[in-house]
Chain A
């Protein structure tokens, strides 16, 4: 029996299209109908994009630090650059901002390390990212120990608050969601009912309500001596809310794994947690990466809802700037910039998930 030991890479079909003109001819102008459709689309795009580009880039004002720098025609990005620090750090004291920088840099490095396949020691870096980093970040951001000045969470704000809420939400909701999904499929009736009740409760309530309840109602039930931070309450509410969604996404993946997989694992003597952790979950989670990332993106965008309980996230801090009497009338710039920031983060998550999906494909 002749067998290959190497897989042959799938090759691209021979390229018939040569150069820009060839590509245009093959894709946009192959036939009269397509040519007309292409031309129309190009004209329409130009009609929309040109004024936008003119406003945002060509006629825009970029330099300066006061309102006088804004000459009128296009966007005035000075509005953003003049309050850039506030947009990033909120009301975090100037002298302590290096702590935020340090935490954000560490986070960026950790994410990059975990995201780039070539780098070694993934397990240890991952362990540090999940256990060590949150502790370090907690002490650095909150302060009050090791001679660091305490910065109460009401002084947090801007992008750093948005990232804090999003990171805690994402890192918290996935494992809780996985446990809930497993619980919902458990053979133990008590565990199963608890998970169903939990999931259905949180899924049935709008996030805004959750946040209101967390900030207004919780203090009514919890004795007043227990100081319960407003941000912490919001974080817990957001984590539970999204873990319910995550649980349903993961459950969809679990259901798609044929029962033969678990049976084979049982027959090999693997116990429940090993069967789940080594066999079923890796396959199920891989299957629902699009759904998981979809939930992450929704979570990231909905962090802006914390503004209704008086937390100043990225959007809220930009909005606050709009009411500054020195800078009235720059709402468009503010909202466009906020949208761009959110878009950059969400689009990155989306691209990375597509890349991971391709990488994890093992040909089945």
Chain B
């Protein structure tokens, strides 16, 4: 880590995430094409688009779960490189919630939330557990802290996954379709937690097809198709006056006409 990195990491007016000319290929397949994107601190962005358009791939580049071949990604002032130390530094600042929760089934809910605090942040166990209980309280699942993930419902598991990510006190949260593996009656309890989080000023990048969530929470909606950002606009403009034809088509399909 260089001096300039740590300096910019602490300044609050620099963007949270900066992406310039991002290109990515899977073999011959061009998944991400010339992506430019700036996410301001505290901004809430919803990413939508048809299946296979590269939404997951894009946000997974921001914590290097996917490697990009061209372009520049700067997260919280730290430029993404191949360097493992730097990648881990970025990951400490970026929380992620997955479609399939990905809780650790061999650890209790509490340990799921403590493990990275203890081993990455080197906190004493008691302190880690205190933080964990705080966040489990916030997602209203503290009473299940000693159960194993396999004993919880999908909605409960996803709320634990959110708490687990928050325990690291990340600067930005990435959500990859957090509600699409859930039964309809559980979607609301997870969305409620996310809305709450947005109100508290968390920077959020959220891939979702929950257009209600986008309308109430998002500062900006991004539409992707075939690896490109086709359109980005505040939700009112995006839903009422979409510019591109592809967006209109997508919206008409997803809003069920």
CB within 8 Å of A: which residues of B? 63-65, 84, 88, 91-92, 94-96, 98, 100, 102-106, 115-116, 119-120, 140, 143-144, 147-151, 161, 164-165, 168, 189
* Contact indicator A266/B115 (Cβ below 8 Å): no
Complex: A272 Cα to B120 Cα, angstroms: 12
Question: Min CB distance, B133 to chain A, in Å?
Answer: 14
Q: Does A357 make an interface contact (CB < 8 A)?
A: no
Q: Does A269 make an interface contact (CB < 8 A)?
A: yes
Chain A residues whose CB sits within 8 angstroms of the CB of B144 once the complex forms: 3, 5
Chain B residues whose CB sits within 8 angstroms of the CB of A278 once the complex forms: 115, 119
**Contacts A270-B116, A271-B84; A261 near B104 (Cβ below 8 A):** yes
- Which 5 A-B pairs have CB atoms at the shortest separation, nearest pair first? A364-B150, A264-B102, A268-B116, A363-B150, A267-B96
Q: Does A134 make an interface contact (CB < 8 A)?
A: no
Chain A's closest residue to B153 (CB) is A3
A-B contact count (CB 8 A): 79
* Contact indicator B91/A266 (Cβ below 8 Å): yes
Chain A's closest residue to B189 (CB) is A1
Chain A residues whose CB sits within 8 angstroms of the CB of B150 once the complex forms: 362-364
**Contacts A362-B105, A362-B106; A268 near B100 (Cβ below 8 A):** no
- A sample of 14 more A-B contacts (CB under 8 A), given A5-B144, A269-B88, A282-B106, is A5-B143, A7-B151, A258-B102, A260-B102, A261-B104, A264-B96, A264-B161, A266-B64, A269-B91, A269-B92, A269-B116, A270-B119, A362-B105, A364-B148
* Contact indicator A268/B168 (Cβ below 8 Å): yes
Chain A residues whose CB sits within 8 angstroms of the CB of B116 once the complex forms: 268-270
Question: Min CB distance, B224 to chain A, in Å?
Answer: 21
Chain A residues whose CB sits within 8 angstroms of the CB of B147 once the complex forms: 7
Chain A residues whose CB sits within 8 angstroms of the CB of B165 once the complex forms: 267-268
Q: Does A279 make an interface contact (CB < 8 A)?
A: yes
* Contact indicator A264/B103 (Cβ below 8 Å): yes
* Contact indicator B104/A264 (Cβ below 8 Å): yes
Chain B's closest residue to A362 (CB) is B148
A-B residue pairs in contact (CB < 8 Å), sample of 5 = A258-B102, A264-B161, A268-B120, A274-B120, A286-B106
Chain B residues whose CB sits within 8 angstroms of the CB of A283 once the complex forms: 104-106
**Contacts A279-B104, A283-B106; A268 near B148 (Cβ below 8 A):** no
Chain B residues whose CB sits within 8 angstroms of the CB of A1 once the complex forms: 140, 189
Chain A's closest residue to B66 (CB) is A263
CB within 8 Å of B: which residues of A? 1, 3, 5, 7, 258, 260-261, 263-272, 274, 278-279, 282-283, 286, 360, 362-364
Chain B residues whose CB sits within 8 angstroms of the CB of A266 once the complex forms: 63-65, 91
Complex: A271 Cα to B91 Cα, angstroms: 10
Q: Which residue of A5, A263, A362 is within 8 Å of B102 (Cβ)? A: A263
Complex: A288 Cα to B143 Cα, angstroms: 33
Chain A's closest residue to B117 (CB) is A268
Chain B residues whose CB sits within 8 angstroms of the CB of A7 once the complex forms: 147, 151
Question: Min CB distance, A58 to chain B, in Å?
Answer: 51
Question: Min CB distance, A358 to chain B, in Å?
Answer: 15
Question: Min CB distance, A206 to chain B, in Å?
Answer: 37
Q: Which residue of B65, B92, B103, B149 is within 8 Å of A263 (Cβ)? A: B65
Chain B's closest residue to A282 (CB) is B106
Chain B's closest residue to A360 (CB) is B106
Question: Min CB distance, B70 to chain A, in Å?
Answer: 21
* Contact indicator B102/A269 (Cβ below 8 Å): no
Chain B's closest residue to A363 (CB) is B150
Chain B residues whose CB sits within 8 angstroms of the CB of A3 once the complex forms: 143-144
Question: Min CB distance, B13 to chain A, in Å?
Answer: 25
Chain B residues whose CB sits within 8 angstroms of the CB of A286 once the complex forms: 106
**Contacts A7-B151, A362-B105, A364-B149; A267 near B143 (Cβ below 8 A):** no
Chain A residues whose CB sits within 8 angstroms of the CB of B84 once the complex forms: 271-272
Question: Min CB distance, A262 to chain B, in Å?
Answer: 9
Chain A residues whose CB sits within 8 angstroms of the CB of B119 once the complex forms: 270, 274, 278
Complex: A261 Cα to B64 Cα, angstroms: 15
Question: Min CB distance, A134 to chain B, in Å?
Answer: 28
Chain B residues whose CB sits within 8 angstroms of the CB of A364 once the complex forms: 105, 148-150
Chain B's closest residue to A268 (CB) is B116
Complex: A1 Cα to B120 Cα, angstroms: 34
Chain A's closest residue to B116 (CB) is A268
Question: Min CB distance, B118 to chain A, in Å?
Answer: 9
Complex: A364 Cα to B157 Cα, angstroms: 13
* Contact indicator B102/A268 (Cβ below 8 Å): no
Chain B residues whose CB sits within 8 angstroms of the CB of A5 once the complex forms: 143-144
Chain B residues whose CB sits within 8 angstroms of the CB of A271 once the complex forms: 84, 88
Complex: A274 Cα to B120 Cα, angstroms: 9
Question: Min CB distance, A282 to chain B, in Å?
Answer: 5
Complex: A262 Cα to B98 Cα, angstroms: 12
Question: Min CB distance, B115 to chain A, in Å?
Answer: 6
Question: Min CB distance, A258 to chain B, in Å?
Answer: 8
* Contact indicator B151/A260 (Cβ below 8 Å): no
